[in-house]
Amino acid sequence: MQVIGPLMIEHRLIGRMLALVRLELEGVRRGRPLNPGFVQAAVDFIRVYADRVHHGKEEDLLFRELARKSLTPPDRAAMDELVREHAWARKRAGELAGASERLAGGGSGAADDIAKALLDLVEFYPKHIEREDRRFFPAATAYLSEQEQQAMLREFADFDRGLIHEIYRGLVASLEMARLPGQEPESD
């Protein structure tokens, strides 16, 4: 498998989630209230899967390796732009998460802020993904030998494996904190 294979498969799952977000926003546009359970799931997906799992592998592994290569100026500019876009998406997802917490607390205006942030992200991701799939990833692959690609695929697997434990350790720690205010969670 080429190194971009897993990233493109992840793009497809992100696309399926975006389709669901679009459906939710369409319902809101027709006057239905936001479904807080869906919002929570979408926030989790965008922050954990799209940003940490997916952008994490792109930035920390693929782009890091490419940064050591002699990229053409257009390819380097394209990579820098993708990193800037990740930063924008991360910030917008953080704002979305903040609004989602306000919604859970009954905050006024939270639903509008959530809908706006979701709309921004739904408009952003397909363009970003298309540029990676059609333009940047094919160019990136040409800089990496077969051996480098196989090594990076193994790093991808290690990255995902480490992250799943980190995510659930964090979840348990936050639940412990919520139950025991003022007490530190157990460290491992």
Interacting residues with Fe ion (CB under 5 A): 58, 132
CB nearer to Fe ion: pick between 163 and 173: 163
CA angle 118-97-102, nearest 5°? 105
Q: What are phi and psi of 8, to 5 degrees?
A: -70, -35
Nearest distance from C-beta of residue 182 to Fe ion, angstroms: 40
Q: Which is nearer to Fe ion, 24 or 58 (CB)?
A: 58
- Minimum Å gap between C-beta 19 and Fe ion is 17
Q: Which is nearer to Fe ion, 117 or 129 (CB)?
A: 129
How many CB atoms are located within 10 Å of the residue 119 CB?
15
From first CA to last CA, the distance across the chain in angstroms is 36
Q: Which of 3/99 has CB closer to Fe ion?
A: 3
Distance CA 127, CA 104 (A): 31
Least CB distance from residue 178 to Fe ion, whole Å?
33
| Amino acid residing at 167 | I
Residue 82 neighbours by CB under 8 Å, 6+ apart: 58, 63, 128, 131, 132, 136
The CA distance from 127 to 61, in Å, is: 22
Least distance to Fe ion, CB of residue 171, Å = 25
- Min dist CB 104 to Fe ion, Å, is 29
DSSP 45: I
Helix axes 110-130, 73-104, angle to 10 degrees: 160
Nearer to Fe ion (CB atom), residue 110 or residue 122:
122
